[in-house]
Amino acid sequence: MTINEIAQLAGVSRATVSRYLNDGYVSEEKREKIRKVVEETGYQPSAQAQMLRTKKTRLVGVIIPKINSDTVSRMVAGISDVLAKKGYQLLLANTNNDVEEELKYLQVFKDNQVDGIIFMATIFTGRHKKILKDYKVPVVILGQQLEGYSSVSHDDFHAAFKVTELLLKNCQVPGFIGVTLKDEAAGANRKKGFEAALKKSRKTCLPQAMAEAKFSIESGYEKMREILEAVPQVDTVFCATDNIAIGAMKYLKDQGKQIPQEVQLAGIGDTPLADLVTPSLTTVHFYYKTSGTEAAQMLTELLEHEDATVCKELKMGYKIVEKDSTRR
């Protein structure tokens, strides 16, 4: 079945069928005739031919930091739902939190035709910014903010501030396990939120009771060991992620510590593991799937409306989820 045959069956010109297939203007009467013929014949336009005509591939590159992360998978689910409904295919690139891999995939997608990019960044170096500046297609940043680009981010500062406030109500010696400050969101902003809550409550955290971990349960375990050996009297620990908090909880339990009676803990992420551990972990719920949905909608708006050039910044809300790892 060809466009010429579709046109003949519908009683319209070949050009009209072409406009219909490429979302151009066609009167309602003719659109209905073509639609009926397309449905009856099961006609599928050639993707390669459409690409040559429209210069569009209907492909969107999505760069993620960690494929086995629950939070990342929720964001990808939101992205996928929107792209599928809009007729785009998703190309997923996993970087394993490796800056060089991020740069590699940014270059790969730049050199190979995709219509747009959703980038879940961890940090932005000068090399990141240089590659992004050379992009000819729209880019939406997810999970962070970058000047000059549309973005969807989470309120990491206030989330950390509020959950730390909760912890400090029943706290004598606070501790903190964060991640690299090069990560503006999970690293710098969550630490700033923790420190702001300390300042408000007029409490201090000993330098020995603060540590920087990797994004893993194993690293949380090791950093909790370092803190407890240096400050045995620590009775409260705020962790930048649920995985780190669960690792810290495992070490404390291995040392015979009662949670939350002797040491209370909280994290951020509201992951499934937060409910499965004993005691269940107090945490912060971010609307990860919705943030992925919003990022994809932001990108498709840029793709489908050439005049939509204004950068948008959306900051998502959060919810404190108080469970059994904190004293009440």
What the block records as the tokens of 19 is 């406009």
Report the alpha-carbon distance of residue 116 to residue 29 in Å, rounded: 34
Among 189, 197, 176, smallest CA distance to 144 is for 189
Q: Which two tokens stand for residue 123?
A: 């940090």
The identity of residue 274, as a single letter, is: A
Which SS3 state, helix, strand or coil, does residue 135 take?
Answer: coil
Q: Is the dihedral of CA 227, 208, 197, 239 positive or negative?
A: negative
What backbone phi and psi angles, to 5 degrees, belong to 132? -60, -35
**Token duo for residue 203:** 């409490």
What's phi and psi for 237, nearest 5 deg?
-135, 125
pLDDT tens string for the chain (328 positions)?
778 888 888 899 888 888 887 777 888 888 898 888 888 887 776 544 454 444 567 899 999 998 888 899 999 999 999 999 988 999 999 998 888 998 898 888 877 778 999 999 878 889 888 988 888 888 999 999 888 899 999 999 999 999 999 999 999 999 999 999 988 999 999 999 999 999 999 999 999 999 999 999 999 999 999 999 999 999 999 999 999 999 999 999 999 999 999 999 999 999 999 999 999 999 999 999 999 999 999 999 988 876 656 788 999 999 999 999 999 8
The whole-number pLDDT of residue 52 equals 43
Asked if residues 239 and 214 have their Cβ atoms less than 8 Å apart, the reply is: no
The single-letter DSSP state of residue 282 is: B
Residues facing residue 285 across a β-bridge: 319
Give me the residue label for tokens 């490429």. 22
What is d(CA 271, CA 274) in angstroms, rounded to the nearest whole number? 5
Q: How much is the pTM?
A: 0.79
Instruction: State yes or no: cis peptide before 65, omega within 30 of 0.
Output: no
Amino acid at 327: R
Omega of the bond prior to 272 within 30 degrees of 0, cis?
no
d(CA 296, CA 117): 9
Q: Say how far apart CA 69 and CA 184 lie, in whole Å.
A: 19
- Report yes or no: 272 and 71 within 8 Å, Cβ to Cβ: no
Contacts of 162 (CB under 8 A, 6+ apart): 193, 197, 284, 318, 320
Give the separation between CA 124 and CA 262, rounded to whole angstroms. 40
Tokens in use for 117?
Answer: 């990019």
What stretch of H or E contains 297? helix 288-304
- 42 token code pair: 């099961």
Q: Is the dihedral of CA 56, 59, 65, 69 positive or negative?
A: positive
Distance of CA 220 to the CA centre of its chain: 22
Sheet holding 313-316, edge to edge: 89-94, 59-64, 116-119, 139-142, 150-154, 313-316
Do residues 16 and 30 touch, judged by C-beta distance below 8 A?
Answer: yes
